[in-house]
């Protein structure tokens, strides 16, 4: 979602920041644990997000779920 947000500007700044912070935590945990599989999954997700149209129904649905999840 972070890659799609960077490209499509799906979220407001607070939501985007929260999403980036969560991604950084996951990345740090994976690195400390030596879990290269997680890094590969993230790279695949980033590559996929870069190919999906900003108005694709799956992306629009996922973005709505993220907004709801971070709504205060």
Quick check: 72 pLDDT over 90? no
Q: Give the pLDDT score at 14.
A: 93
pTM assigned to the model: 0.58
Confidence of residue 10 (pLDDT cuts 50, 70, 90): very high
Sequence spans of domains, the chain: 2-70
Cα–Cα distance for residue pair 60/32, rounded to 1 Å: 33
**Residue 13, token pair as written in the block:** 């700044």
Q: Give the pLDDT score at 40.
A: 66
Q: Residue 34 to residues 22, 23, 43, 60: CA-CA distances in angstroms?
A: 18, 16, 16, 33
Q: pLDDT tens across 20-57, in order?
A: 998 888 778 877 878 787 776 887 788 777 788 999 99
Cα–Cα distance for residue pair 71/25, rounded to 1 Å: 20
């Amino acid at each position: 979602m972070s890659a799609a947000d960077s490209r499509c500007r799906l979220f407001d700044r607070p939501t985007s920041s929260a999403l980036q912070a969560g991604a950084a935590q996951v990345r740090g945990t994976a690195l400390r644990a030596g879990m290269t599989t997680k890094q590969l999954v993230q790279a695949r997700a980033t590559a996929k997000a870069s190919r999906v149209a900003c108005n694709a129904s799956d992306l629009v649905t996922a973005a709505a779920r993220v907004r709801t999840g971070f709504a205060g």
